[in-house]
Structure formats: C-alpha cells, structure tokens
Amino acid sequence: MSTENEGAAVPSAGGSQSGSPAPEAAKEATPPAAPPAPATPPAGSSAAEGGEGRTERLPTVPPHAPSASPGPSAPGTPPPPADQGAWYNAAGAPAAYGATPQDGTGHGGPLVPPAAPWGAPEPPRRRRGGGLAAAVLVAALVAGAAGGGIGYWAANRNDTSSTTVSAPGDPKTASRTPGSVADIAAKALPSVVTIEAQSSGGEGGTGTGFVYDTEGHILTNNHVVASAADGGRLSVTFSNGKQYDAEVIGRAQGYDVAVIKLKNPSGAKLSPLPLGDSDKTAVGDATVAIGAPFGLSGTVTTGIVSAKNRPVASSDGGGSGNASYMSALQTDASINPGNSGGPLLNAQGAVIGINSAIQSANNGGGFPGAQGQSGSIGLGFAIPINQAKNVAEQLIKTGKPVYPVIGATVNMKDGGTGARIADNGTDGSAAVTPGGPADKAGLKSGDVIVKLGDTKIDSGPTLISEIWTHKPGTKVPITYVRNGKQTTTDIVLGERTGDK
C-alpha cells in the first residue's frame, strides 16, 4: 500500500469517532511449474478515526501521493480521482475515524487501494493460502490473495542437475568491519524468525518476526498471524533451523501489530534485537531489512530511509472491511511478500521499524502464481518502532490495543483540502459524539479539519494516521474551517480499547 499516491481508493470506515476501534490490519498457491532444466546447471533462484467504530493514528506529515488506480486484487473498487489526495471509501460513504473501513481499501498521504498480504506460497499439501503481507500498489492499496510462485519454485523445486561451488576460506572466521552490513546481519539474523500461520481450515502463509524479549515474545504484523488466531496453528523457525510452536498473545488490527510467544522456549537462544528511536531517524539514514521474501528465509537487503511520516493504509482485500493505518517510514530497501513483520534496522543494527507493506507498479501479472502480487520497486513501508513498541507493551500486558480517538465521523470520500466532518455517523447517529473530544472542542458537522498539531491534514485517512501517532489523553491543537473562517483550538484525545 502506498501513501504516496493521491486519489487512491481507501477502505470505507463505519461508526462514529468516539471510542470507535481503529481500522484493523489485513488478515492473512500453487507454485508454478519448474521450467525445464537448462543445459547449463541453473543457479538457485533464488482507514478512519472517529465513530463508535475504531480509532487509528495517522502519519505526522501527510505527503501528496501520485495518482493511483485500484489494483486487480480489489475488483469492483473504483479508483478515486487522480488529482485528489484524500482517502476514498469504495462505497462512497463517510468513514468514522477509529472505525473499520467498510471495503477494506487503504488510505495514505494520498491514498491508494488496499494492499495484498505478503508472504511465500505454501506447499499444496500443507495449505492453500499464500504468504502474508500487505502489498502496496502504485495504483491502489490491494489486499488480495498472497503467494509468490517464484519463491516456492526456487526453494522447493527438485533439480538434481545444479551444482555448487565453494569459495576458499571459512566465512565464519572471516573478519567483518564493525557496522558493516555483514556485521549487522550476522548479529541480527539469529534473532529474526520465519513465521508459518495456518488456520483451522488449512489456509495460511508465511511471514517474518523478531525476538522482542527473553520471555519468548516475538513481534510481527497482525496480518501475518491473523489466520491462525482462532483455532489455527503457528510455528516459528529460527535461523539455525530449530522450530517452535507459538501462540498469539495479542493483536492490533488497526496498527497491524501482533505479539506471539513460543509455547515452550526451552532450548531457544532468545537474543532480543535492540530497539532504536524511530523519531530520531532522518531521511537518508541507511537501512537493513531482514525477512523471508517469497519464503526465502534469512534474506538481507539494504537501502535508506527515503521518507518519513508517510500516511499508509492496507487491507486484507477480502471484503472484510478491515484496514490498518500507519505513519510509515519509507525505504528503498528491497521488500517483497514474506518480509512482513521483519525488522528494518539502522546502521547501528537497532530496529527502527517493522516492515509491513510495499507499493508495486504491477497491479496484475507479476510472478507466476503470485495472484497479482508483484515485487519491490523500491517503495517499502515500515511501522515506526516507537509506535510498535507502545502497542506491543499494551498487548503483552492486556492482550488488547488502545487507540486514540476524536469522537467524530469524518468523510473519507472527500479530500484535498482537509478532513470534513460528516453530516451523520455511518450508523445514522450523530457525526460528532455528544460529550466526546470533538464535541468538547466545539467541532460540528460540516467543519473541515485542516491541521492537527503541526501536521497539515488533506484528507480523512491522513487525519486518522496523524491521530494515531499520539496517545489517548494528549492535548493537541486542531485547526478547522467553518463557513470560510479558520479556527484553532485544543482537543484532548479520547480512547478506544480493542479492535471490535
């Protein structure tokens, strides 16, 4: 899902703002036939704030995204006007902030259609579902079927004609310059895991996670483990090949964050990755991404932080109407289906984000068996670790996330000039919750919110992302326009516990 594209479709949200839950993250193929072996041995180929619904935080600096069009994974979702930077509900209905978008489409600093889950395809005999990860498309945020045929083929094909060539020397004893990519990878890889999630019906996929503490908690994306949340099965595999069963401790669909825990960590080498400060990250800083793109565990890629505070929304694309929102770190490090939930590290080897989505130029075709998913084009998005850490602590402590809300239903279809408070809530109730934060601040239906804190607001989804960068109880300046007159006042954010 891309937040750069203006005019991209976004999931519609329902419910009024106050106390409504934040839009939830995407929940989460048969490999293509292996091509004939060549003569020469082939090398291994390798959503909305207010409302009684939900509340979610949005990015602090809404960017203007290029025009986008809905991706193939979201058939029937009309693309919003290319010149608008607002989030749109496919249904055209106003979305309540904090409520779950109705059509599952995403939003972004300019919005884009829902993204498709990331992950590697699963062997047919094990599951039918593909990998897990929200994919961002240039034209739309599409949460369609996951699965990358290329990854499965490269990892599982039976090719006895291939050969291997070993370079002299033992890599384990080779000297690595401290702070180099090789040094960072060597230290981090033992703490990065590949997660396999399988629902009770046998569907699922793979994603990534990393060791959060010595108690056996693993931090990842909600959409990576969602399919196994109710009676399913989770397994975690470390870089040394050891596998452990795991269970879900808590999920935050709106933030797209989840915490799982090893059921029996005995014998596991649990070395938590150090957490950095995402607020201090600067555009141009070096990044290292680790994950299992298309099922290829232990893959390391590099890049830079190419943007900050990028409003992004993603959806499972399954028509559930669930979406997640983030004020993302943007990176050009190669990220593909299967990287979801993996760490984005800085030059010191500290986690600054959780890789969650990508924007792709290919809305169709792509890899054989990928069902519309495409690979990286240098636009990856990660949940800032400062936000993810706060959510993780909530989940470990209570099992439920807490979302900040303003208590107002905002129109998700209109955009470009601000976030307009709807005439009515999505359920027919008042758009501004009586006694809620917005009501106490003097806001009314028809007011257009143009700024929250220091961040310019150009659409409903952008407002949601920005709200979610704050904590409940925080007093924030809010600027709105009524009858052509601009007014600034303070609003104290309310809260909503849980996604439902």
Please list the active-site residues. Answer: 223, 256, 340
Q: Kindly list the distances between the CA atom of residue 131 and the CA atoms of 45, 198, 204, 286, in Å, as whole numbers in the listed order.
A: 18, 11, 7, 27
Looking at residue 226, the DSSP 8-state letter turns out to be G
Q: Which residues pair with 441 in a beta bridge?
A: none
Q: What is the amino acid identity at position 112?
A: V
Which residue, among 487, 488, 461, has the nearest Cα to 63 in the 3D structure?
461
d(CA 301, CA 429): 49
Q: Please tell me the number of Cα atoms within 13 Å of 6 on its side-chain side.
A: 16
Return phi, psi of residue 279, to 5°.
-70, -25
d(CA 323, CA 253): 7
133: left (phi over 0), alpha (psi -120 to 50) or beta: left
Which residue, among 404, 442, 411, has the nearest Cα to 101 in the 3D structure?
411
Looking at residue 183, the DSSP 8-state letter turns out to be H
| Cβ neighbours of residue 390 closer than 8 Å, sequence gap 6 or more | 471
Which residue, among 148, 64, 124, 112, has the nearest Cα to 365 in the 3D structure?
148
Burial class (CB in 10 A: 0-12, 13-18, 19+), 256: buried
3-state secondary structure 377-404: CCCEEEEEHHHHHHHHHHHHHHCCCEEE
